[in-house]
């Protein structure tokens, strides 16, 4: 194997740049993967810190296994999460990869890990189960499209999805949304969610927008409901009437799985094994790919994500 690989580097002051980098060496609890596909995430639009290999999620073949990683992983077809995924070779903690079902392509698999871990983690934290009503905001986002399907898999009684784009309504309905609210800025989200949930509001809210829209999401929760702040597409700051939380006994929690210790992400992946991976294998949960590009065309892929027009994930294929 060559000692260098092609990789995209970015940083706070560096736009995405294709360059040569040394092939990483796996640590004792890591595996080395030949990347076959990768996918973009919203956070790829705003790289921070010093220059680093870009990207977070990938699918490929394990070519080397660290001394304390399971030896049977050698040669496995996996998908996973690791910093530095926009490269020909990726190094990942062995608990941050899962074996890809035979029925799923590398391109499809690469678009799933972030969404599966984040949305399953958030829905579980919100205690979604049979007969739970769920609201998912910005549901056409790369992770939201999987959140809608996971809510259905977990038995949610009613799933309400929001989008700003009327043309994305039918996709969200196909994925399992019982009601789609097209947010236009002058509507009343709480009233529309109550109408869709028998007057109660949503027992669990997964909010991907944040900013001032978080207050609307809280307003759409049922009394005693759980609001999980997952994303900040509309900004990290907003104003919220704390009396609304207190009066209606709404619990507000936040998740950021990119900022957790390796064991937490490992536990999230373990949580997918019993029910979610079989559902991916038989396509009850499917990848929603807006568009796919060649690895060399990552700039066009990034532009597509930045356009806000994408419905689902933007993928990159390697040879
Ligand atoms: N907590 C975690 O661990 C975690 C993990 C992964 C991602 N995230 C966060 O989750 C969010 C979604 O990530 P992603 O990669 O799935 O996003 P993405 O694919 O880039 O989502 C883009 C879509 O979101 C909607 N959108 C964009 N800006 C919006 C705004 N200001 N208000 C309302 N809707 C907006 C648009 O759809 P419409 O046309 O339908 O409105 C757009 O097509 C991001 O904030 C990301 O940082 C958090």
Tell me how crowded residue 293 is: count the other CB atoms within 10 A of its CB: 18
Name the CATH topology of 4-112+282-317: Quinone Oxidoreductase; Chain A, domain 1 (3.90.180)
pLDDT, tens only, 151-166:
999 999 999 999 999 9
Q: How far apart are CA 305 and CA 289, in angstroms?
A: 12
pLDDT, tens only, 75-98:
999 999 999 999 999 999 999 999
Q: Is the minimum distance from the CB of 310 to ligand 1 under 6 angstroms?
A: yes
**Mutation test residue for ligand 1: of 231, 260, 301, 314, the one with most atoms within 8 Å of CB:** 231
Q: Is the minimum distance from the CB of 77 to ligand 1 under 6 angstroms?
A: no
Q: Report how far ligand 1's centroid is from the alpha carbon of 70 (Å).
A: 35
Q: Is the minimum distance from the CB of 125 to ligand 1 under 6 angstroms?
A: no
Q: Are strands 30-39 and 313-317 parallel, antiparallel or unpaired?
A: antiparallel
Q: Is the minimum distance from the CB of 163 to ligand 1 under 6 angstroms?
A: yes
Q: Whose CA is nearest to atom 46 of ligand 1?
A: 231
pLDDT surpassing 90 at residue 186: no
List the domain boundaries for the chain.
4-112+282-317, 115-254
The per-residue pLDDT for 41 is 97
Q: How far apart are CA 103 and CA 280, in angstroms?
A: 9
Q: Whose CA is nearest to atom 25 of ligand 1?
A: 138
Same fold, 4-112+282-317 and 115-254: yes
Find the mean pLDDT for residues 132-147: 98
* Distances 297 to 8, 141, 250, 315 between C-alpha atoms, Å: 11, 21, 45, 11
Q: Is the minimum distance from the CB of 231 to ligand 1 under 6 angstroms?
A: yes
Mean pLDDT of all residues belonging to the chain:
96
Q: Is the minimum distance from the CB of 162 to ligand 1 under 6 angstroms?
A: no
pLDDT surpassing 80 at residue 261: yes
Q: Look at residues 213, 173, 215, 212 and name the one whose alpha carbon lies nearest to residue 196.
A: 173
pLDDT surpassing 80 at residue 254: yes
Name the CATH topology of 115-254: Quinone Oxidoreductase; Chain A, domain 1 (3.90.180)
Find the mean pLDDT for residues 109-130: 96
């Amino acid at each position: 194997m060559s000692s260098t690989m092609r990789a995209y580097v970015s940083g706070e002051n560096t736009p995405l740049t294709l360059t040569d980098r040394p092939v990483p060496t796996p640590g004792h609890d890591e595996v080395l993967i030949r990347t076959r596909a990768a996918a973009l995430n919203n956070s790829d639009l705003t790289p921070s810190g010093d220059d680093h290999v870009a990207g977070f999620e990938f699918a490929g073949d394990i070519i080397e296994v660290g001394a304390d990683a399971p030896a049977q992983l050698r040669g496995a077809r996996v998908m996973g999460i690791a910093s530095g995924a926009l490269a020909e070779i990726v190094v990942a903690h062995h608990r941050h990869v899962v074996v890809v079902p035979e029925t799923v392509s590398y391109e499809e698999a690469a678009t799933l890990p972030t969404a599966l871990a984040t949305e399953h983690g958030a829905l579980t934290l919100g205690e979604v189960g049979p007969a739970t009503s769920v609201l998912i905001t910005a549901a056409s986002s790369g992770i939201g499209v999987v959140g809608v399907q996971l809510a259905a898999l977990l038995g949610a009684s009613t799933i309400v999805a929001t989008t700003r784009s009327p043309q994305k309504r039918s996709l969200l309905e196909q994925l399992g949304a019982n009601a789609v609210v097209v947010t236009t800025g002058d509507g009343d989200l709480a009233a529309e969610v109550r109408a869709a949930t028998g007057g109660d509001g949503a027992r669990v809210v997964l909010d991907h927008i944040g900013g001032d829209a978080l207050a609307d999401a809280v307003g759409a929760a049922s009394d005693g409901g759980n609001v999980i702040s997952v994303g900040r597409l509309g900004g990290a700051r907003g104003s919220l009437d704390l009396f609304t939380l207190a009066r209606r006994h709404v619990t507000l929690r936040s998740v950021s799985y990119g900022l957790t210790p390796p064991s937490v992400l490992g536990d999230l992946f373990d949580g997918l094994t019993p029910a979610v991976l079989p559902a991916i294998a038989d396509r009850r949960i499917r990848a929603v790919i807006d568009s796919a590009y060649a690895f060399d065309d990552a700039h066009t892929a990034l532009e597509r994500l930045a356009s806000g027009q994408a419905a689902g994930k933007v993928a990159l294929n390697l040879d």
